[in-house]
Amino acid sequence: MSADQITNILVCGIGGQGVMTATEILAEAAIAEGHDVKKTEVAGMAQRGGVVTSHLRFGPKVLSPQIEPGTVQVLLGFEGAEALRWSHYLRPDGLALVNNARLVPPVVELGLFDYPEDPAGQMRAAGRRVVSFDALSIARDLGEIRLGNTVMLGAIADYLPFAPDVLQNCIDQRFARKGATVVEANRRAFAAGREAVATQLGTSATPA
């Protein structure tokens, strides 16, 4: 199995942010495209505000479930400092899509540690390709902060080895039970996520 045939996506954030669900939807999209898929995380204490990483690997045949440092094509960061923490997992040509959220833990508030001033900037300074955006503000502008995770999925949609509408369809299916209004709201969030990244990269998001 050539390593090039496997796509490695690392989704990182904090317990409770929806990292695992987002990765599950990405996995469903890869399955819909006929890929073999493995998805893993260590979630034992994650819902207590700890670090969460979700590893997604797909391709013709996936063996080891864990992604290794230096092999990630796309890093989807739900939080700035967490994206920085895991940025060494990126390949040299990998892309980091980072939500600017700053979730400051009690150990920092207590003055025991410092939160980095500009995590995305620090990643860029280390030679990483980074697109950062404020998923929460985008979601708030759309009228519902809970749409932030769909904004995140929109952000990655144009950097997968399949068409964005494959992912869009999986999101539609997730929310179909909740009615047309919710599906529509998520579609707008998905489009806004795509747009946010495309604007920064100077590309254009083609309609899904």
- The minimum distance between CB 145 and other proteins, in angstroms, equals 8
What is the Cα–Cα distance from 208 to 191, expressed in whole angstroms?
8
CB burial string 167-191: b at 16+ within 10 A, e below:
bbebbeebbeeeeeebbebbbbbbb
Phi, psi (degrees; rounded to nearest 5) at 67: -90, 145
Q: Which stretch binds other proteins (CB under 8 A): 105-113, 155-163, 164-172, 192-200?
A: 105-113
Burial class (CB in 10 A: 0-12, 13-18, 19+), 17: buried
Name the minimum Å distance from CB 25 to other proteins. Answer: 11
Q: Give the contact letters, 148-177, x = binds to other proteins (CB under 8 A), - = no.
A: ------------------------------
Q: Per rule CB under 8 A, is residue 51 in the interface with other proteins?
A: yes
Q: Does 196 bind other proteins (CB under 8 A)?
A: no
Q: Which is nearer to other proteins, 64 or 200 (CB)?
A: 64
Query: What is the DSSP track for 190-207?
Result: HHHHHHHHHHHHT-----
- Closest residue by Cα to residue 158 from 119, 196, 115, 120: 196
- Least separation in angstroms between residue 22's CB and other proteins is 14
- Among residues 60, 146, 173, 200, which is the contact residue for other proteins, using CB under 8 A? 146
Distance between CA atoms of residues 194 and 11, nearest Å: 17
Name the residues that contact other proteins, by CB under 8 A: 1, 14-15, 24, 27-28, 31, 36-51, 62-66, 68-70, 81-82, 84-88, 92, 104-116, 122-123, 126-127, 143-147, 178-179, 181-182, 185
